[in-house]
């Protein structure tokens, strides 16, 4: 069940939808060939519903969008980076549980 609260962003949209977003933004860098990325999918959807209106949850497919992951030195997925006012607040790599992601997001709200 994919949530409509989660936006999908591309390299060209990253600036407008993440960097210039008024809300803190959690970006999930993923790819279709990555099992653990699929594993955390339902958790990301849940978080998007819970933080609706307070935090923007976004996903970026690293296969289709190599520039942004390169810029942030991403060499493992899933990597989740929390942005606030365009700056990196913190990041997590690996298929972590909901509690850890909650903790991450709460650093920006």
Partner 1 sequence: MQQADYQLIIVGGGPAGLTAGLYAARARLKALLLEKGATGGQVLITDWVDNYPAFPEGVNGFDLIDKMTAHVDRFDLEKKFSTVTSLDLAQDVKTLFLENGEQLTGQTVIICTGAKPRKIGVKGEEELRGKGVSYCATCDGPFYRNQEIAVVGGGNTAIQEAIHLTKFASKITVIHRRDELRATKILQEKAFAEKKIDFLWNAEVSEIVGGKTGVESLKIAHKDGTTSSLSVTGIFILIGIEPNNEILPLEQLETDDNGFIVTDTEMCTNLPGVYAAGDIRSKKSRQIINAAGEGATAELSAEYYLGHLE
Stretch that binds partner 1, among 6-14, 16-24, 82-90, 91-99 (CB under 8 A): 91-99
The active-site residue out of 26, 37, 48, 55 is: 37
Between CA 64 and CA 39 the distance in angstroms is 20
- What is the residue-wise DSSP string for 34-85? -HHHHHHHHHHHHHHHHTTTTSEEEEEETTT--HHHHHTT--SSSEEEEEET
Name the minimum Å distance from CB 20 to partner 1. Answer: 25
| Partner residues linked to 90 by β-bridges | 82
Pick between residue 39 and residue 109 the one whose CB is nearest to partner 1. 39
Q: Annotate each residue in 16-55 with x if it binds partner 1 (CB under 8 A) or - if it does not, as one string.
A: ---------------x-xxxxxxxxxxx--x---------
78 binds partner 1 (CB under 8 A): yes
Q: Is 25 assigned a catalytic role?
A: no
Q: Catalytic residue positions? A: 34, 37
Residue numbers at the binding site for partner 1 (CB under 8 A): 31, 33-43, 46, 63, 73-79, 91, 93-95, 97-99
């Amino acid at each position: 069940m994919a949530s409509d609260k989660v936006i999908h962003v591309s390299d060209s949209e990253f600036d407008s939808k993440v960097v210039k977003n008024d809300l803190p933004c959690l970006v999930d860098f993923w790819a279709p060939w990555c099992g653990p990325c699929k594993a955390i999918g339902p958790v990301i959807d849940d978080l998007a519903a819970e933080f609706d209106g307070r935090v923007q949850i976004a996903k970026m497919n690293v296969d289709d969008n190599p520039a942004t992951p390169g810029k942030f030195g991403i060499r493992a997925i899933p990597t989740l980076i929390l942005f606030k006012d365009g700056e990196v607040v913190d990041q997590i790599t690996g298929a972590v549980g909901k509690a850890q992601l909650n903790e991450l997001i709460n650093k920006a709200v």
